[in-house]
Amino acid sequence: MSMNLGVHHLRAIVAVAHHRSFTLAAAELGVAQSSLSRTVLEAERRLRTPLFQRSTRRVLLTSDGEAVVTVARGVIEHVDTGLAHIEGYLAGTRGSITIATLPSLAATLLPPMVRVYQRLHPDVAVHVEDNLSDQVTEHLRSGRADLALTTHPGDGRSGDGSGGGAGGDSGGGAGGGAGGDSAGGSGGGAEYVARPIASDSFFLAVHPDHRYADAETVEWSDLQTEPLIAFGPASSVHKAVTAALDDAAVSPATIVRAQNVAAVAGLAASGLGVAPVPGFVLPLMRFAGLAFVPLVPERSRTITLVRHRDRPLSPAVSAWMDVVDRHLGSGPEGLPGVRWVRPGAGPGSGAAG
């Protein structure tokens, strides 16, 4: 048998049961008493049982009415909770957001953004997926992530950071230049839209007793005679460093490869060699007591916030984009070689962080 009761029936029943009065219940619900009476009678007819004992002095629940009210209260609570969630979701104050990013950015650039976002939107859950660049791109492509915080796929060229600089952790994400949202994608397609966030330049990580430890700068060409500690091929730091060494016509005789930032730092600290690393990676290597010397000519990578072009932004994701616009430059201070990109400006135009 189909009961076919609406939420308005349940609210009427619960209100009358609570007040034991049609007059008071009607006032609570903001309806006429006659309308409320008709609603309750309709519910009783559909349920095929009386819910209330009515008299001129009071209204009492029947045994069937008590059972119905117990269930009705639970249904109403569930409905109200769901409606509040929908309202919050549409307002961007509830829901969740997943951001795929590189490990170095997850530890340095992302946390200040999350802190500001959660202060403004405390009921939105933020999930961070930190992975290597190819996996970051795959998470965005598959829809597992709403956004990717990664690097410009064209990074790996020398320059002043004004566009397409060297990319240490390139995510193969969106293409396009600086200064606003730009289209691009893996393989040069228009699958993604990216907006520049920051840029950072490369340094040489060396043992504190190394001959370059106190140098003002080190030429990329000077690495010809140095044993090199490099990130493995699965890391896009490898791509950027390889491009820089190729441009400098350098082929290091000895190369030790590692995938993890801590491993690269430990190997360099042991004196096994030197390691070219991008600026956002430096805080993760300080435990090893290394010296960091700027590499010249300067190579800088562009950090971008990437979204899928064809997927509509949820209110929570739109709120994240607003936080980025309003709070750019509020990231970790004192990072050598880091420049923030203001909306509408090129990567090289921000102040060093």
| Residue 206 β-bridge partners | 291
Q: What is the mean pLDDT of each run of 10 residues along the chain (353 residues)?
A: 82 93 93 94 94 87 94 91 74 80 91 91 92 87 91 52 33 36 45 89 96 96 94 81 92 85 94 94 94 94 89 88 78 74 53 37
| Whole-number pLDDT of residue 167 | 33
Residues 175 and 152: beta-carbon distance below 8 Å:
yes
Identity at 115, one-letter amino acid code: R
HSE-CB at 272 with a 13 A cutoff on CA atoms is 17
| Whole-number pLDDT of residue 172 | 34
Q: In 118-246, where do the E strands start and end? A: 124-130, 147-151, 182-184, 192-206, 218-219, 228-231
Q: Could you tell me the pTM of the whole model?
A: 0.65
Q: In the chain, where do the E strands start and end? A: 52-54, 59-61, 95-101, 124-130, 147-151, 182-184, 192-206, 218-219, 228-231, 255-258, 275-278, 291-296, 300-308, 338-340
| Whole-number pLDDT of residue 83 | 81
Residues 255 and 226: beta-carbon distance below 8 Å:
no
Fold topology of 95-349: D-Maltodextrin-Binding Protein; domain 2 (3.40.190)
Q: Hey, where are the domains in the chain?
A: 7-89, 95-349
Calpha distance 150→154 (Å, rounded)? 12
| Whole-number pLDDT of residue 155 | 54
CB environment 244-275: b (16+ within 10 A), e (fewer): bbebbebebeeebbbeebeebbbbbbeeebbb
The CATH architecture one would assign to domain 7-89 is: Orthogonal Bundle (1.10)
Angle at 315 between CA 341 and CA 113, to 5 degrees: 35
Calpha distance 309→233 (Å, rounded)? 28
